[in-house]
Amino acid sequence: MTLTAEPTRTPRPTSAAYLEETIANMKKLGAIMLEDNGKTFTYYETQRFFVFLDDEKYPRDELVCEPQPVIGYVSNGDIRGPDLYPIYYEARRIGSCTLKDRDFAVKIVVKELPTAQP
């Protein structure tokens, strides 16, 4: 018999205080959130950022950035477990894409790292 490991999932917190604290912490980190709908965000190559939306309204597997691969998913950013927000991304290629799901969309622009001036 072969056993297969199931990914662990942190239960959805029910405490309003915990949720408020999590939202406040994500805002401090500069996470892209629902109130950022319609905005444009600019990052440099290799820069990382979080997206923090409602797990139920915006399932993580339906959030896409087109055209790809301007940004990429960073797996070690899974704070609450697989398929839950926040999602950790890295700016991987110069260009732009629209990160969207249903009625949420933001434009992501990735620029070349500036060179040091002598």
Query: Distance between CA 94 and CA 69 in Å, rounded?
Result: 10
Q: What percent of the chain has pLDDT over 70?
A: 82
- pLDDT for position 1: 55
- pLDDT for position 108: 96
Instruction: Enter the pTM of the model.
Output: 0.76
Domains of the chain in start order, with CATH, are: 36-111 (2.60.40)
Band the pLDDT of 12: cuts 50, 70, 90.
low
Q: How far is CA 32 from CA 11, 14, 53, 58, in A?
A: 22, 22, 8, 13
CB 52 within 8 A of CB 31: yes
Query: Distance between CA 58 and CA 43 in Å, rounded?
Result: 23
Determine the Cα angle at 94 with ends 92 and 97, to 5°. 85
Report which DSSP code applies to 58. Answer: S
pLDDT in tens, 16-57: 777 778 777 778 778 899 999 999 999 999 999 999 998 889
